[in-house]
Structure formats: C-alpha cells, structure tokens
Amino acid sequence: MAKRFVIEFGMGMDFHGQDVNVAAGRAVKDAITKSCLVGLNEICGFTEENINEKMLVEAIIGVTRPEELNTEAIKKLFPVGTVTVKAVKGGLMTPGLYFPGFGDKDDSIEAAIASIIVSI
C-alpha cells in the first residue's frame, strides 16, 4: 500500500475569462513548482525508468464549478507519476473588472486551490 510522501498546495486565478480550467491549471503549476522531490531518487532509488509506475499523484482541485473542470487536461500538467484528478466544490469567485476585450464574461475573478498528494 502506498504511503504519502509529500503534500503541497497551490493557488491560481483567472482574472479575465472566469475559466475554472485556467485557474486550476495555475493552481497546479503553483503547487508543483514549490517542491523538488529529490528524495524519490536519492533515498527511495526511483529512476527515470520507474518513477511513473512508483510515484502516485493525487490532485484535488477546488473550484466554484467543478463540473466544468477538464480533469484529463489537468493530468497533462504533471511531468511524472501516475496521476488522478478530483474536482470538488470550492475555490472562490470574487469581484474584479469587467473588460469584454480581455475575454471577460462578467466582472468576477475565478480562484482555484489545488492539493497535490504524492504517494510512494
């Protein structure tokens, strides 16, 4: 049975466009750029050849409209590991600017939070 190795969090926003996928993608990138999992190689002995099968990644993404999240596109943001993505109701919609020329549908900002759990 796999055991948790690290948990990291990230936050992302779509200031113009109100797209949960843009916000979620930024949240995932924010989370995964904060960690260098060097221990997977130096302590656990993972290599380029076996890291995808040995490293399990669970991404839980909180957005205001989870039914709109493209989980397959989010999976592609992870460079290694066997990835699962779960969309949950969360995130935040807050007032922003309404500039139609910037792609806005309304005056809100879409914010997402990502919890990334790496298990080995």
Q: pLDDT tens for the chain, 120 residues: list them.
A: 889 999 999 999 999 999 999 999 999 999 999 988 889 899 999 999 999 999 999 999 999 999 999 999 999 999 999 999 999 999 999 999 999 999 899 999 999 999 999 999
Task: Please count the other Cβ atoms lying within 10 Å of the Cβ belonging to residue 99.
Answer: 11
Domain of 100, in residue numbers: 4-119
DSSP class of residue 19?
-
CA distances from 46 to 5, 54, 58, 76 (A): 13, 8, 18, 21
- pTM (predicted TM-score): 0.92
Report the distance separating Cα 84 and Cα 109, nearest Å.
26
Q: How many domains does the chain have?
A: 1
Backbone angles phi and psi of 70, in degrees to 5: -90, 90
Q: Which CATH number do you get for residue 53? A: 3.30.1330.20
Collapsed DSSP state (helix, strand, coil) of residue 51: helix
